[in-house]
Amino acid sequence: MPTINIVQAVNQALKEEMRRDDRIVVLGEDVGRDGGVFRATEGLYDEFGPDRVMDTPLAESGIIGTAIGMAIYGLNPVPEIQFLDFIYPAFDQIVTNLAKLRYRSGGQYSCHLVVRAPYGGGIKGGHYHSQSSEAYFTHTAGLKVVIPSSPYDTKGLLLSSLRDPDPIIFLEPKRIYRAVKGEIPEGEFTVPIGKARIAREGRDVSILAYGAMLHVAMDAAEAAKKNGVEADVVDLRTLVPLDIDAILSSVQKTGRVIIVHEAPRTSGFGAEISAQIAERAIEYLKGPILRVTGYDTPFPYTLEEYYLPSVPKVLKAIEKLMQY
């Protein structure tokens, strides 16, 4: 099986699905001739031409608004937002129009599209290129939110997203765009939306993570093993729909929970997970639900590594829980 990185997985998924479905169009800033700022759309313009791969002005509201119009009239658009931090000018288009069109029209318009955006820190991008805004979209009924952590899941989940009838926010962890590689099977495959993955089996503590933080959780789990602690690591894969059954199964097994995400702590998605665990499985808990997250500050440039969750921070949380 070939080994590729996450950027290549995105590129493969788009190429293969564009060959299969001529309704798919890609649009965004520099996605055409330049292949995108991270080269995720490289080669698409040459193969599919300017009618299906469109460079747009620097106007996110226009990008999403145009994509919504395309979707209503039967196309399957894939707008790219160059960095998730830039999505805010299009926020009204997404939450007021895109997310509500099916409901508002009584099901007459499905308005399916996939908004792709790299998110998160780890590339020294400063506070305008490093934000994790996923919680804004998980709060919006009508949207699905997908966040892969590996090349396999990236390709499989993107293919599933491109075929799903609902609007999807597909967030790609740019910190590991090229740092994480994995084997991809030959031929077509998909990964189901709404199903978490048990990345590591353990009995002592459950670590819940997604995106780039999955790899921090895995490294922390390996480090904890030296002290005799076996961590169960759950890769959420999708935040909406959330695989609460997989989470509860892990929690019931270990009785201890740590949630890791790089978004700010207050109202981060970890708070929703904590609430659901408390409502459904509090009798299984042997200690408090702990969160290892970013801080409630703008994302810093010089203190980036201090801001981001790290293996030592997760290990400290593990130690606290095991001693509780």
Beta strand pairing call for 144-146 and 238-240: antiparallel
d(CA 256, CA 211): 21
d(CA 196, CA 214): 12
- pLDDT higher than 90, residue 324: no
The 10s digit of each residue's pLDDT in 236-266 is 999 999 999 999 999 999 999 999 999 999 9
**What's the rounded mean pLDDT across residues 171-184?**
96
Strands of 114-119's sheet in order across? 53-55, 24-28, 76-80, 114-119, 168-173, 144-146, 238-240
- pLDDT higher than 90, residue 187: no
- pLDDT higher than 90, residue 278: yes
The 10s digit of each residue's pLDDT in 199-218 is 999 999 999 999 999 999 99
**Active-site residue numbers?**
129
**What's the rounded mean pLDDT across residues 161-190?**
95
Q: Residue 66: in which H helix or E strand, if any?
A: helix 60-72
**What's the rounded mean pLDDT across residues 224-246?**
97
Residue intervals of the chain classified under CATH 3.40.50.920 are 197-322
Residue intervals of the chain classified under CATH 3.40.50.970 are 3-183
The CATH number of 197-322 is 3.40.50.920
The 10s digit of each residue's pLDDT in 36-68 is 999 999 999 999 999 999 999 999 999 999 999
Give 181's contacts (C-beta < 8 A, 6+ positions apart).
Answer: 3, 4, 5, 151
**CA dist 58 to 25, 27, 35, 254, Å?**
18, 11, 16, 48
Please calculate the CA angle 280-149-13 and round it to the nearest 5 degrees. 120
Quick check: 9 and 155 in contact, CB under 8 A? yes
**What's the rounded mean pLDDT across residues 301-313?**
95
Q: Residue 224's pLDDT is what?
A: 97
The 10s digit of each residue's pLDDT in 72-113 is 999 999 999 999 999 999 999 999 999 999 898 888 878 899
Q: Residue 216's pLDDT is what?
A: 98
d(CA 312, CA 291): 14
Which CATH class, in words, describes the domain spanning 3-183? alpha beta
